[in-house]
Amino acid sequence: MYDNNQNVVVEKNITLIERNKCSELTDKLANEVRVALVYNGISHTVMLASPRDLEEFAIGFTLSERIVSNVNEIKGVDIEHVENGIIIHIEITQRCFMDLKEHRRSMAGRTGCGLCGVAQLDDAVKPIKIVDSDAVFNMDYLPGILEQAKAKQTNFELTGATHAALGLNNQGEVIYVYEDIGRHIALDKLIGAFSRRNAEKPAAVLLTSRASFEMVQKAASADIGILFAMSAVTALAAELAEKSNITLVGFCRNSRANIYSHPHRLQHGARLQEAAAI
Number of H helices, E strands in the chain: 8, 16
31 labelled binding-site residue: no
255 labelled binding-site residue: yes
256 labelled binding-site residue: yes
| 265 touches 247 (CB < 8 A) | yes
Of residues 22, 96, 113, 116, which has the active-site annotation?
113
Rg of the chain's alpha carbons, rounded to an integer?
Answer: 19
Q: Which residues contact 253 (CB under 8 A, 6 or more apart)?
A: 146, 230
DSSP letter for each residue of 206-272: EESS-B-HHHHHHHHHTT--EEEESS-B-HHHHHHHHHHT-EEEEEEETTEEEEEE-GGGEEESEEP
- From residue 1, alpha-carbon distances to 33, 46, 82, 105 in Å are 17, 21, 11, 31
Task: Look at strands 204-207 and 226-229 and give their pairing.
Answer: parallel
In angstroms, the CA 25 to CA 137 distance is: 45
DSSP letter for each residue of 81-136: EETTEEEEEEEE-HHHHHHHHHH---EE-BTTBSSTT--SHHHH-PPP--------
Query: Residue 113 catalytic?
Result: yes
52 labelled binding-site residue: no
* Half-sphere exposure of residue 170: CA atoms within 13 angstroms, side-chain side: 13
* Half-sphere exposure of residue 245: CA atoms within 13 angstroms, side-chain side: 11
252 labelled binding-site residue: yes
213 labelled binding-site residue: no
Active site residues: 113
Which positions make up the binding site? Answer: 251-256
